[in-house]
Structure 1
Amino acid sequence: MTQGPPSTTAGRFKISDLVALVAGGKIRIPQFQRPLRWDRNNRLELFDSIYRGYPIGTLLFWRRPAPEDTVRLGTLRIDAPSLPDALWVVDGQQRLRTLASALLPAGFHDGKPEEEILFDVPTQKFVTAARSAPSSKRFPLRGAHETRGTVQWLRDHEVDEAEYEWIAHLSDRLQNFEVPAYIVESEEEADLRLIFDRTNTAGKRLKRAEVFHALSTSNLLDASDQPNLRRLDPVAEDRSFGTIAPDTLLKCVLAMGSPDITRDFRAELDRPSSERSEDIERAASALGHAVQFLQENAKIPHYRLLPYQFLLVCLVRYFGFHPDPRPFTRVMLRRWFWRTAAAGPPGRRGHTGFMRQLLAAVEGDDADASVERLLALVPIEGPADLGIDGRFGLNRSQSRIAAAALAALGPLDFDHHHPIDVSSTLEEHGTNALLRIHQSASSRDEGERDDELEPESPPSGAGGATNSRVALGQTVANRIFVSSQALTSGIGSEELGDALSRVASAGTVASPDDVLGSHAIPIDAVSRLADEGVEQFLQLRHEALAAAVSAFVDGHAEWEHRHRRSIDTLLKVPISR
């Protein structure tokens, strides 16, 4: 007979009752629970939340019989009796273990107990005994969930009236603070496994940028004028650079303060809102300078063509220190940008490690010195292969470099011969801004995405990773910038081929080379496409494109130039701007 759906009841447990249930063996841990992962800070923050009256989440139990057993919860060892109505933990193991381990007497621990948690009375902060100096004003949590333990400690220690109130408040919290809970009753273990899976995997974990945004917004009903990441959005949008990913914006903000962009930023958010607003304004100004540099000096018209996100993060830190570098310094910075983009991050360090190293090279001492240190971290010779033989997709750095090179050619519309607004087309259409020239079975992409800025692997020559060659129909050789108007009107490969033929026959322009050349298409290749020699067309386009990409990267990286300071800097003679 098929069992009906499980029944669920809601309730609340006082902390003192939960600890008693653990001590009595009524709370059990199912085998499918994950290992204990909380660290010291997690445990201290739990008690801080309880002291302040913050919610600590909802517990989820499964009520069912349990045999006589030895229950282990961290270092706790409980000799539990056989029970007909034990509470098996589905969600909340880390919290229950932290509470019981800190509050139960040492006799419940198997061997050495975990670090004892203390309440530092003068500061009203929680610390561990092993990491704090001895003090007569550190109230131990062990036994504090029972009144007699608190009373005994107060008899033995001298405290003033305010400190007495703080200790009494904590003792009351540890006894009477209520934790909401659901209790599920079901005979089917499969029900609980499904509940556990959905409880722990449904939805998505908040990303760091989402946490930063939430914690830095003091008015949740109106975040428009708060010191959060949204204040940075207009900086790039006003320059038609596109929408920068929130995670990248967060790294830009964190990089302004320290090269360690993986640090815990929560303590920094405790500062006054006015100070945090100043930080955001500084980051916004630096971001504006960085975007201007990318568009005007590095020839990156849109965020989607940025080879690596860490390049923008480094530039924001640089322009935060040096908002107005000399023209020659900009040249050196452009060389660093393209040498780094072409080589990619060293494989042994990965993106984050390499970014941290680059950020550490940027300091406020001297604009030229920072660029020199950056240049010293990247190769002085270009990679043998820029990777345009690989499958095209704007989630790959090699594809973005090739697309940037195509954009730098100033692509012209085939019908009206006007310059294509690459930025707006990319913003509206993403990867589709580069339309396939010829649609065939070999040119269909598998799982292509353009929402990630990090590539699957560095280019050939960067850390030893090689971009595998695929059919030309899947490469950038089969892609071409098309105007947003043409894409909106539904232009396809057939119409695009007709347009190419018209241009090549000089039926619409006096100089077909001007239009075709703006797309790195040799004029003699178009006739192959008209004659259904698609592979021959793609091969000729590939060769022309390879030359164009190499010229573009080499022209900006200037591998032949060794980094050196400008003469005026060496002589320390100021020049007029």
Structure 2
Amino acid sequence: MADPTIIKISDILEMGRAGKFDVVSFGRAFEKGPEWVAELLDSIARGLPVSGMVWSKPQDNAWPDIGRYHATTEAMTYILDGQQRSTATCAAAGIRPGCFPEWIWEALGGPALQAGVVLESTRRLPIRPLRKRRHPQVALRDLLADDADIPELVIEAGVKEGSREAAEYAAKLGDMRRQILNAGLPVSWHYGDLASAAETYRRLNKDNGLADWEFQTVALELVVPGARRDVLDPLRWKAASRGFSAVVTGKLLNELIQRQLPARTRRLKVDKADPAEVVAAVTRARHAVEGVMDRAERYGLVDASLIYMPAGLQLLMHLAARFPEALQDGFARRWLVHALVTDRYRTIQGLAEQDLRVVLSAASYQDACQALAVRMAADPWPGVADERLQSRVRGRFGTVATLYALACGCPAGLGVQDLLEPEAVFPSTPMTLVPLWRGELEHSLGNYVLATAATAEVLREHGGWTPAAYEQLRCGNDALDAQCLPVPARGTAAAVPEIVVKERERDLLRRLEVFIQQMTPLLPHAHGQEEQA
């Protein structure tokens, strides 16, 4: 029996639930959000055209039995093109496709992708992400279920039982259910071995926005099956959960691996590489990324709001991948501080690539540090001016926020205690920048303290740094000093918030200058003499 050229949505849901399809191991990870998923189902419900898919059936055991998200798979059908649509269709109906382990489904936000029909009026029934709304909503997981009792679903959604609207909604939902389940998507089929499937994938995506680095990652996957699933994907998810999503990108990981391979086997020539060489390059890249993230957190970069200049951290990851001893001394912190003070990569295009070439061409770690220090010395040293503590966007202060976090995280730095929990000390206890007062003062870093969520809630409840907030927080002098905060007075002696913020700006500038001096010179006579992490 020939494979179908049209596949119904009902079949996709059943195949997903039963784990009958998988995704090629070199394919992209699922990466769509709730709005995209809901719009896809809304298009299907309205009979609008949806682009087709390309599926593959391996012939004569021509493929290893591995999936995109599982080490093994029993699926006989692989998706070459259309993973986002197939997965989104299942997710909207509350189905976790069998090819996704539960923990990966959670990491990708699968449970939050459910959609529902919003009962705005009997003439308008849009499909939107499933969440609490002003209008009643019927979840697609219930509407598309085999045992769906549509009149009961309408009543449960909040429409009055026995009303004319309830009957009309039930009739229209029944039509919508049939339209969705019977809608067919065109499917083209590929038959052949894994190399042929990869070439098909490349051609399908050649004009579809797939970047060169993604094609190179496909080639890596063919040499070391499972590299994406077992190393690269978890590394990106872990980085995102720690606030480093702008730093640890797929492009960076590919570049780290490519730079560790012999020149003759890089890029699309990786098929000529010994698999052991690729495994070693992947392992080295992983250790560099994890090592720099670990150290950055010890330095004070514990939240995405404190991490700016991702190109600087990416350079340090390249340095650690080429020279693992970079994770043993304090040059990385010093270099990062100097790069932040000079705003190194903000204005001059191509400077990051030039610095990278210096790292890659160095014969030793000492040579790399020396060359980077010489290049850094050519930049003017502006210090930290008052205006850098001001932000055009509330709560976003660019590189000076990262400098502040580094100063607070330095072993000889501020030793910042939380205002509510004195035993909670930054950065061993993760904290974020929290405003003392809401409103226009949020444009100044002087209006922000490093604090836990509990402290932030107290400040919010009491309208800022007020006597009532101080009494509830019961913070000691050490915490006040570390945060550069006065004890708020009552009555006519109460300090004006603008004055408090301006005084804190001066205090923060002085403390930042002290910290920056501690990080000078960039290259001490002996590596490691200042490192205490």
TM-score where L is the length of structure 2: 0.49
Question: Which structure is larger by alpha-carbon Rg, 1 or 2?
Answer: 1
TM-score where L is the length of structure 1: 0.46
